[in-house]
Amino acid sequence: MLIRVLSTHPALAFRMATPLSHSPLLKSPSYLFLRHHSFAPPSLSCFSSFRSFSSPLSCPFSSLSSDRSSKKWMQPIAALLEIGGVKIARDDVVKESDPANNVPDTIFSKLGTELHRRDNHPIGILKNAIYDYFDTNISAKFVKFDDLCPIVSVKENFDDVLVPADHISRSYNDTYYVDAQTVLRCHTSAHQAELLRKGHTQFLVTGDVYRRDSIDSTHYPVFHQMEGVRVFSPDDWAGSGMDATSFAAMDLKKSLEGLAKHLFGTVDMRWVDTYFPFTNPSFELEIYFQEKWMEVLGCGVTEQEILRRSGRTDGVAWAFGLGLERLAMVLFDIPDIRLFWSTDQRFTSQFSEGKLGIKFKPFSKYPPCYKDMSFWISDSFTENNLCEVVRGIAGDLVEEVQLIDNFTNKKGMTSHCYRIAYRSMERSLTDEEINQLQWRVREAAQSKLNVVLR
């Protein structure tokens, strides 16, 4: 995933690791590469950097918003959904006539699926295990929300949690916009400010989140996060001998180390200093699992401004956000993120309510088929746009889109070669089927991405 390395801000390289145990620390540059890219979480990467962009409108791609002609490969689309009491029609979310809209049907079809609310699904089982931890190990009672509507305002998703106006996560390349003021939430932090304003002081929010992203076995444009927030009042830290921020940071780390132990057993873990717009200080927790350090969550002491706006000027708070898929992939040995969406009985029947320790047994391994595609890119080309086009045509039959060659000629023209891996989790694909898909991907890339095939 060369492209992901290139797009990462060097600020990431300056993060400080504080080991909590005696495991060897991996300090070489390849460690950064591995941690963020070969098993990068779908969840935490975009906020922990300072990357900025010019303006969402500098990247118009309404014609890209989906492969709307390729109905053949799409899942059936429900006419009307109800999520958390809100009725949603397709036309409320997929708006062909709005140039600011970039939600394809493939994404709309995921709304309302709510894997996190299924007690027999790995994502639901994990959510419940985290609930159990908070219920039994933390004295404060956390209120749980898991049906808040994923369609939120730009204000809720970004402004309310202090994401700067030029932050990369706001770009049309990274976020699904319903219209210029409305997005599919790209993190559960979108609900922090509103719940604080309503007076909640301890809460967990679980939900589906949406991000335009590259394609590989650990990245999918819809995934699930859990957000946790705890507010303290001066009485809580008065006797501790600590200032409010140190007290909150200490409690946060203790609570989350406990959670990691609850889920993973005795593991080596370490804290890494990082940056999030909504917290200061900010940390990531990594655990040493299967011979790698793996980032499992982002967290920190909530920016005072967020609390102030919610009317709590005397308090201090901590917050965290964790990606459920990547934890579940490790806990259940699930090798490909697409499997979470499988309705194949051979997948679904392997999991049952309350059983965290179960290891997934692959029911079949069909061979992948690789197709390469080279083209001259234009200035507006992005890998996320290509991935959206590929997904619009091949859906979940695409396993990976990987940049394998990249050069600029003497005239300044840049060529990219992408290798697309097609593989079904459930059946063998025929040569004819794959050739047709690839043919349509080539045509769509040319017509929608302004690239010139070579």
Q: CB of 50 within 8 A of CB of 275?
A: yes
List the one residue out of 357, 427, 365, 440 whose CA is nearest residue 397: 427
Q: How far is the CB of 370 from ligand DAH (least distance, A)?
A: 32
Distance between CA atoms of 111 and 94, rounded to whole angstroms?
12
- How many Cβ atoms sit within 10 Å of the Cβ of residue 60? 13
Question: Which residues of this protein are in contact with ligand DAH, per CB under 6 A?
Answer: 43-44, 47, 187, 189, 227, 276, 278-279, 298-300, 319-321
Q: How far is the CB of 297 from ligand DAH (least distance, A)?
A: 7
Within 64-121, residue ranges assigned H as helices are 90-93, 105-108
The tokens describing 417, both together, are 């070669």
Q: Closest CB to ligand DAH among 168 and 420?
A: 168
Q: How far is the CB of 232 from ligand DAH (least distance, A)?
A: 15
Q: Closest CB to ligand DAH among 299 and 449?
A: 299
Q: Closest CB to ligand DAH among 300 and 315?
A: 300
Contact partners, residue 27, CB within 8 Å, separation at least 6: none
List the one residue out of 303, 368, 369, 373 whose CA is nearest residue 335: 368
Q: How far is the CB of 318 from ligand DAH (least distance, A)?
A: 7
Q: Closest CB to ligand DAH among 70 and 302?
A: 302
Q: How far is the CB of 452 from ligand DAH (least distance, A)?
A: 36
Q: How far is the CB of 195 from ligand DAH (least distance, A)?
A: 12
Question: Residue 183: helix, strand or coil by DSSP?
Answer: strand
List the one residue out of 274, 277, 300 whose CA is nearest residue 169: 277
DSSP string, 88-102: EEHHHH--TT-TT--
